[in-house]
Amino acid sequence: MEARRLIDNASYGPEALKALSQAFEEAWAEIEGNFGCDQSREAARVKLATALLSVASDESRDVELLKRAALQAMTGDYRWHGLQSATRQ
């Protein structure tokens, strides 16, 4: 899976990668029910992984903080794209 590969190959130390991995799994567990087909689910997982990596640093250890920040970043991205689509109509 592309999303797991993005996280597993990120350039962070082992403790940060462990926290990132756990934050990703916990965040995904909260939102996975919102995505139906396999293609939509994988796209959402990649979006979540990208959002998580955008808020992470090598000092990242707080799983809850990482999870919340990634979900917020992901939500903000969907809102932005929704707003752009609405203004084009």
CA angle 22, 28, 32 (to 5 degrees): 160
Answer whether 83's CB lies under 8 Å from 37's CB. Answer: no
| Gap between the Cα atoms of 89 and 76, Å rounded | 20
| Gap between the Cα atoms of 20 and 55, Å rounded | 10
Which pLDDT value is given to residue 1? 80
Q: What is the pLDDT of residues 35-56, one digit of tens each?
A: 888 888 999 999 999 999 999 9
CA angle 60, 62, 66 (to 5 degrees): 75
- Name the token pair of 67: 């999870």
Please identify every stretch of the chain with a pLDDT value under 70, giving residue numbers as ranges.
Answer: 77-89
List the domain boundaries for the chain.
2-88
